[in-house]
Structure 1
């Protein structure tokens, strides 16, 4: 373990947990582990990430070289291949060669754990033995338990663990299923499974004060809010932007407990959580959205929700239909049908639009799916408009802390989409967004906008992803590229750099940045023109 500012505590209600061993500021690392207990790339990601360092390949997977033995796992360098061979692949390679297919990720993770940590005594390692396993709860679901036993039996055979250790193997699988994390790329794309007993001690809250962040093979526990010494550290086991019913159902099904955090007990809306958040907007970020105005709007939305309880209650059936439409949009092969399902879903929740309650579930989910539809079909300027709207009307309420990684990666994506828009000729840009008056588009310099947003991201990324991480490096590279373009153009770029460094010309740069962000808010206002288009 590279860094650990925690201590184990016993909570009378929640059981074992983690508490801060010192005062921690928002964005600071709480735990850093460069080589976690176990990390396994899932089947769907094997072709796109290195199986050791978990670095994503470029547009083509040719930059990753297959293991010449099993031809299943891939590596970005010979050094990664040698390191993985030493850690586990020398024991796995021949097995993968013999099997007709790649085992499910839980099975691969289990037999790797058996090979690395259970031999030669064939007993649970000390760190795993004390973790929750829920064997009794899982046995009550016959179908689920039969699947667990089948997976355990496969891992037992693959690892050549003695047959009389089946109960231990099954228990270990249940421990890992209960305590493992989803390994992700910096943009939150899932790529595998990570099992690290220390991190598994952190308890759940739907209003977490910390989060798990992956940087290649390394994993960190980062502070989302300021945390005082002795204060318990909470992460969220589920997507806490879902409705209370969805969160509780998932927690009950996967972890067998009823969440009684304040958000669940009182069914707080995103607007209520935002009002009570300790997040403080930076001076630079305040130019994109004013924090005091945000809190005022959150208060207005919350009061409106309280006044229309019956209307919202009557929408419950429509919300259920909405979930079905979202699911259907993900399964259809037709982009037209996909779009129609999503447009119907958003139409069913027209009450939310009327009252500007865009952050209430499941409205952001529909908007996200629409945004992804435009990305998938390379309609990137339309995607830009939608993402700006989502960021300013959903994200800042659902994730009120500016250093939340989802907020930061969204902002970075906005910068990249602005960069794309800057590459288009004015006529092509106007043609791609025919519903936006040309004078509005002409009033926005997309290179300046890219520069200004990247300055925001460069300030926040070290607090969301950690100093020296790959995402921070990507942001710095993008920022240097736009600075070079600005240097050749002259003028505004220098003023923005002064604003970034708070130099002598910061006031001029601040004024320019404010004008840029006003233009971006104007663009976001055309989101429903994008949505109401007949075709992608």
Structure 2
């Protein structure tokens, strides 16, 4: 039988599609607006943390402990979360759980057999973990050997026709997950396949399901199906990582101009609309970073063994081309880039650099060797080389075209943890939030944009403390315009406004207990409780309810948006000074 699907979607089967990978797709059974939850998938075939987080994440629900963290700022002293200890399985001591309920559930699902596997791993390899793909394949082998449920058998061993049309396209077509075995066999001249053979063999040995070439072939096929259909839960900012595989969700196809995106919440995946979707319309997501140059996207899609023919690829559209016609532009009236005309007509100069030149820049950028360790001199040397490669993009004012945003972001990320440079990191983050992210991801509820806003709040807390204590100059910052802006700005009101943006959009585009959203809510509560700020808080609260109110809009413009824009305007100058050795321009 076809995969069981939640309401709102159906599987469409088109055997005439010349692209084999597109013959199955997900379509909407009703209209969806941007930000709408399309479907929730909470009964995956396979879900596990990666090997790096296996000991710090509940192996069943994938909940991470929330250590008590205290941040003292001029705004408030914030304590978020409570210490939550994970307890290891008493048998293998390898898998850990947040409580007895999760441990029992995981035991019934797979750990009853997996527990013995980890004992073998300790005896034979002297460790208590396995590479993520190896563990995933081993889990499937163990579930199949134990009989598994019907969904696991059908997904990994091929389905059967029961005469019912649960997928909306005829039960006869469902033959399990696509594995693209031939594609993997030939990928990179067979190098990928050799790696697959080693991983599959390891899974067979450690799972204890030895059975000759037939079992090894089955293990390789399972690995191919996992690689083709599983979603990577990686979110470096929140520490989330691992594999999520649901047969129904695996039917969603790729587009470099997707109309949907996926968010993960423990054992659940939520499919949300990024753009308007009509009833009967195909639902698509991006399997890769779709803002990269075309040739780089094609290289990334090799893993999936198809060539994308979406509008972005067929017409070679860049981020600005896609942004200019996006139906999500009006949503930015409540954002850090409320200038809708700027989004429709970006002030860039395409004559300065061609799309072919951008692809060449990116490839050279990728080829630059990253330094190992924390040598600041080597990291600065790399940043200077990257900035020089991006010179044509700087001259074209194409701030949102990769690899320029990543060059700025990685530098800002390093500066955030450097006392002498932390003040300079703030303009860079403001620049990314106003001149890069809105053009790359037009919908303001996209998680990446929300993360950027919360990152600014955290830096404002740091610079606010430095300003109040008089230690701002002690950091060594010599940029008069930057110092003057921080001294005169109402940084608390800036934080409150940004937090209201993050909470509003985070409630639309993310799970309720997403770490970033919870942080924003917690800090906002602390800011609202500060004494002597009732007038400002009331104004911002009213602005969040009605951004078009003239008085509230004026307050936001002068007290929040103007200083954010001013800080953003210093970014390129700071980068030119730090990375290109140009003279400081006093402002």
Matched-pair contact (CA < 8 Å) for 1:181–1:195? yes
Worse-superposed segment, 143-152 or 464-473: 464-473
**Cα distance change of structure 1 residues 262 and 422 upon mapping to structure 2, 3 Å threshold:** same
Q: Does 1:89 align with 2:97?
A: no
Counterpart in 1 of 2:510? 465
Matched-pair contact (CA < 8 Å) for 2:37–2:270? yes
Q: Distance in 2 between matches of 1:531 and 1:309?
A: 20
Matched-pair contact (CA < 8 Å) for 1:208–1:236? yes
Matched-pair contact (CA < 8 Å) for 1:185–1:191? yes
Cα displacement (A) at 1:434: 3.0
Cα displacement (A) at 1:287: 6.1
**Cα distance change of structure 1 residues 96 and 283 upon mapping to structure 2, 3 Å threshold:** closer
Cα displacement (A) at 1:239: 0.9
Which structure features the higher share of helix residues? 1
SS of residue matched to 1:125 = helix
Q: Does 1:439 align with 2:484?
A: yes
**Cα distance change of structure 1 residues 389 and 83 upon mapping to structure 2, 3 Å threshold:** same
Worse-superposed segment, 122-131 or 225-234: 122-131
Q: Distance in 2 between matches of 1:469 and 1:4?
A: 24
Cα displacement (A) at 1:413: 2.1
Counterpart in 1 of 2:288? 238
SS of residue matched to 1:491 = helix
Counterpart in 1 of 2:60? 52
1:448 to 489, 493, 503: 493
Gaps of 5+ in 2: 69-82, 159-175, 580-587
1:206 to 256, 259, 263: 256
Counterpart in 2 of 1:521? 565
SS of residue matched to 1:184 = coil
Q: Distance in 1 between matches of 2:516 and 2:362?
A: 36
Counterpart in 2 of 1:418? 460
**Cα distance change of structure 1 residues 217 and 474 upon mapping to structure 2, 3 Å threshold:** farther
Worse-superposed segment, 137-146 or 456-465: 137-146
1:125 to 153, 156, 166: 153
Q: Aligned pair count?
A: 524
Q: Distance in 1 between matches of 2:58 and 2:554?
A: 44
Counterpart in 2 of 1:368? 409
* Per-residue CA distance 1:58-112 (angstroms, 9 max, x = gap): 4589843333433333333344333333333232223223312322101101111
Cα displacement (A) at 1:506: 5.5
Cα displacement (A) at 1:296: 2.0
SS of residue matched to 1:382 = helix
What TM-score, normalized by structure 2, do the two folds share?
A: 0.82
SS of residue matched to 2:300 = helix
Q: Distance in 2 between matches of 1:192 and 1:209?
A: 24
Cα displacement (A) at 1:118: 5.2
What TM-score, normalized by structure 1, do the two folds share?
A: 0.89
Cα displacement (A) at 1:221: 1.0
Q: Does 1:405 align with 2:447?
A: yes
1:494 to 532, 535, 538: 538
SS of residue matched to 1:43 = coil
SS of residue matched to 2:297 = helix
**Cα distance change of structure 1 residues 52 and 416 upon mapping to structure 2, 3 Å threshold:** farther
Matched-pair contact (CA < 8 Å) for 1:499–1:510? yes
Matched-pair contact (CA < 8 Å) for 2:134–2:200? yes
Gaps of 5+ in 1: none
* Per-residue CA distance 1:377-398 (angstroms, 9 max, x = gap): 4654333221111121111111
**Cα distance change of structure 1 residues 332 and 514 upon mapping to structure 2, 3 Å threshold:** same
Counterpart in 2 of 1:116? 143
Matched-pair contact (CA < 8 Å) for 1:495–1:506? no
Matched-pair contact (CA < 8 Å) for 2:48–2:136? yes
**Cα distance change of structure 1 residues 244 and 429 upon mapping to structure 2, 3 Å threshold:** same
* Per-residue CA distance 1:440-466 (angstroms, 9 max, x = gap): 222211111110001111111122114
Q: Distance in 2 between matches of 1:54 and 1:530?
A: 41
Counterpart in 2 of 1:139? 185
Counterpart in 2 of 1:16? 24
1:104 to 109, 112, 131: 131
Q: Does 1:394 align with 2:442?
A: no
Q: Distance in 2 between matches of 1:188 and 1:119?
A: 35
